[in-house]
Amino acid sequence: MASTLTYDRSGLTSLAVGERGVSDASRASLSASLAAARSAVLDAHTRGDLGFLDLADLDPTPFTSWASTLDPDLTDQVVIGIGGSTLGAFAILETAGPSGAGGLRTHFAENMDPVTFSALVSSLDPATTLLVVITKSGTTVETMSKFWILYARFRDAIGDDVDAHVIAITDPERGSLRPLAMSRGWKTFSVPPNVGGRFSVLTPVGLVPLAAAGFDIAGLLDGARDARDAARDLPVDSNPALQAAADAHILYGQGVSIYVMMAYSDLLSGLVDWFRQLWAESLGKSTDRKGRAVHLGQTPVKALGVVDQHSQAQLYMEGPFDKVVALLEVASFPTDLTVPELDGFPESLSHLVGRGMSEILAAELRGTQLALADAQRPSCLWSFPDLSARSVGAFVMTWEFVTAVVGELWDIDAFDQPGVELGKRIAHGLLGREDLVDFAAGFSLASGEGSSLAIPRSE
Ligand code: PA5
């Protein structure tokens, strides 16, 4: 049977790694709770709370039609946002690339770094660049300040034409960006209120920049639908999303506090960043739904194969037994190179001659998987048949579902992020927001003698 994505959990079973793995008994005893967790997720969706599950049914046509009406003189777009507002589109575009002819070259302005942002600003031609500003809350300091720097530069260069170059994606009502967009006549798209930032890549947050880049958003949504239907309908025991949730939950209960995701392709690197945010912000919580202190969360760690075999693997193989390693494999790459037969190559390495890079990569991955098992370290394998939009869509939706189910198993709210609010409020106050100045002034770092240490510079 053809599949969009495969989850192979054999490397984390107790058969493979002994008592540090997931036993059949623990799996069986979780079965009823897993089914209940899935029902709770689906019920929340029926109540209208979890809009992310509807997104797989979106019609891509309004987005592709809009993209086809873009001014043909446009060559580039800058996507300005942070966290859930940019990580998804960046990851997807990096993985599967634009498929349509004539899409815009895409730049992401995510971080708040004066050096890299200045370099980006000076590389752009305002006459041919679209500014896509994305903030669901409409108040994010980093996004709005970077956007305003760009807007002013563009206005200086092209005058009032700038307003035809701005696309604003934000909440339909809340926040400061919506009224600003209305007052300037910018084209706007709405983020559905029942979809949180890190679950929003299949809303206009991701689909608008992806459509402008010429990306195959129909394929992306097909993959998301494959995954949503599988997660919703497949029996518990053969359901990749439910079993991945169960494995993470059981291993966490056995002291596995770190989930390493190791992508065996440069092109999957952004997808691991996207996963990292989803896993960390959704599941890192201090209290459960009853208000009890729980301090739960499994730290997501990003790794890249094969590079991190020569950097992190030693720790994974011999360090604390606190990790599960999820290997991301691509079965078929769009291109390959072969080690040539040419006089002079060392005899001891002659077995490499005639091997494709993808074949070598597959052997490296398999070697890591088997070595982890040999060291009694749980691992699992996510196989992408290819780097298509459809495979990526399936990965995204699967992990959103896994996250929601683990949230249920832990009885926490996986859709809020109270822990990041305090720092944001203090920053606003430090930057002079009137209602928060006194609030921010109430915080300080208690420090004593010897807290700050300097290296003297020799004359
Ligand atoms: O998942 C989330 O809600 C966050 O990561 C947000 O996406 C991020 O903080 C950006 O917020 P906003 O879109 O409101 O600017």
- For the segment 254-266, what is each residue's pLDDT rounded down to a tens digit? 999 999 999 999 9
Q: Specify whether 69 is located in the same domain as 28.
A: no
**Alpha-carbon distance values, 180 to 11, 150, 154, 187 (Å):** 53, 15, 17, 11
SS3 30: helix
Q: With a 6 A CB cut-off, is 136 part of the ligand 1 pocket?
A: yes
- The kind and range of the H/E element at 148 are helix 141-158
| Ligand 1 proximity of 176 Cβ (cutoff 6 Å) | no
Q: Which atom of ligand 1 is nearest to the CA of 84?
A: 7
Examine the domain organization and report whether 164 and 244 are in the same domain.
Answer: no
Q: Say if residue 155 is in the same domain as residue 281.
A: no
The model's pLDDT over 265-317, given as tens digits with 9 standing for 90+, comes to 999 999 999 999 999 999 999 999 999 999 999 999 999 999 999 999 999 99
Work out whether strand 166-170 and strand 187-190 pair parallel, antiparallel, or are unpaired. Answer: parallel
CB distance 200 to 85 below 8 Å? yes
Which listed residue (290, 295, 310, 351) is catalytic?
310
Is 459 catalytic? The answer is: no
Mean pLDDT for the chain? 96
For the residues of 272-283, what is the DSSP string, one character each?
HHHHHHHHHHHH
Range of the domain at 270: 6-43+220-410
271: region left, alpha or beta (phi > 0 left; psi from -120 to 50 alpha):
alpha
Residues 254 and 208 occupy one common structural domain: no
The pLDDT assigned to 62 comes to 97
In a domain, 150, yes or no: yes
Q: How confident is the model at residue 100 (pLDDT cuts 50, 70, 90)?
A: low
Task: Give the domain CATH number at 148.
Answer: 3.40.50.10490
Q: Which of 215, 245, 271 is the last residue of a domain?
A: 215
End-to-end CA distance of the chain: 71
187 tagged catalytic:
no
Q: 378 phi and psi, to 5 degrees? A: -70, 140
State whether the beta carbon of 175 lies less than 6 angstroms from ligand 1. no
pLDDT category, 459, cuts 50, 70, 90? confident
Q: Whose CA is nearest to atom 8 of ligand 1?
A: 83
**CB distance 58 to 286 below 8 Å:** no
Task: Report which ligand 1 atom has the smallest distance to the Cα of 81.
Answer: 15
Q: Does 82 sit in the ligand 1 pocket, CB within 6 Å?
A: yes
At 280, the amino acid letter reads A
Residue 313: inside a domain, yes or no? Answer: yes
At residue 449, the pLDDT reads 86
pLDDT in tens, 82-97: 999 999 999 999 998 7
Query: How far does the centroid of ligand 1 lie from the alpha carbon of residue 438, in Å?
Result: 25
Task: Evaluate: CB of 150 within 6 angstroms of ligand 1.
Answer: no
CB distance 417 to ligand 1 below 6 Å = yes
> Is the per-residue pLDDT at 99 higher than 70?
no
Total residue length of the chain: 459
Share of the chain above pLDDT 90, in %: 95
* Residues contacting residue 289 through CB under 8 Å, at least 6 positions apart: 411, 412, 413
> What is the rounded radius of gyration, in angstroms, for the C-alpha atoms of the chain?
24
* pLDDT value at 337 more than 80: yes
User: What pLDDT was estimated at residue 19?
Assistant: 96
pLDDT at 244 over 80: yes
Q: Which of 410, 425, 450 lies at the terminal end of a domain, its last residue?
A: 410
Quick: pLDDT tens for 107-141. Answer: 999 999 999 999 999 999 999 999 999 999 999 99
Protein residue closest via CA to atom 9 of ligand 1: 83
Locate tokens 């990851």: which residue? 91
Same domain, yes or no: 164 and 70: yes
Residue to probe by mutation, ligand 1, list 146, 198, 403, most atoms within 8 Å of CB: 198
**pLDDT per position as a tens digit, 421-445:** 899 999 999 999 999 999 999 999 9
User: Which of 187, 215, 243 marks a domain boundary?
Assistant: 215
Q: Is the CB of 91 under 6 A from ligand 1?
A: no
In percent, the amount of the chain with pLDDT more than 70 equals: 99
What was the pLDDT predicted at 450? Answer: 87
* 430 within a domain of the structure (yes/no): no
Task: Please tell me whether residues 22 and 126 are part of one structural domain.
Answer: no
Which residue type is seen at 289? R
Whether 283 and 191 map to the same domain: the answer is no
Q: By C-alpha distance, which of 332, 433, 454 is closest to 391?
A: 332
Q: Can you tell me the distance from the alpha carbon of 270 to that of 262, in angstroms, rounded to the nearest whole number?
A: 12
> Per-residue confidence at 101, pLDDT binned at 50, 70, 90?
low
Q: How confident is the model at residue 51 (pLDDT cuts 50, 70, 90)?
A: very high
- Let me know if 310 is a catalytic residue: yes
Say how many Å lie between the CA of residue 61 and the centre of ligand 1.
Answer: 26
Q: Please check whether residues 227 and 349 belong to one and the same domain.
A: yes
pLDDT at residue 6 in the model: 97
For the chain, the domain total comes to: 2
Q: How far is CA 438 from the centre of its chain?
A: 36
pLDDT of residue 148: 98
Of 94, 142, 281, 408, catalytic: 281
State whether 224 and 211 are in the same domain. no
The pLDDT of residue 447: 85
pLDDT in tens, 173-187: 999 999 999 999 999
Yes or no: say if 437 and 449 are a contact pair by the CB < 8 Å rule: no
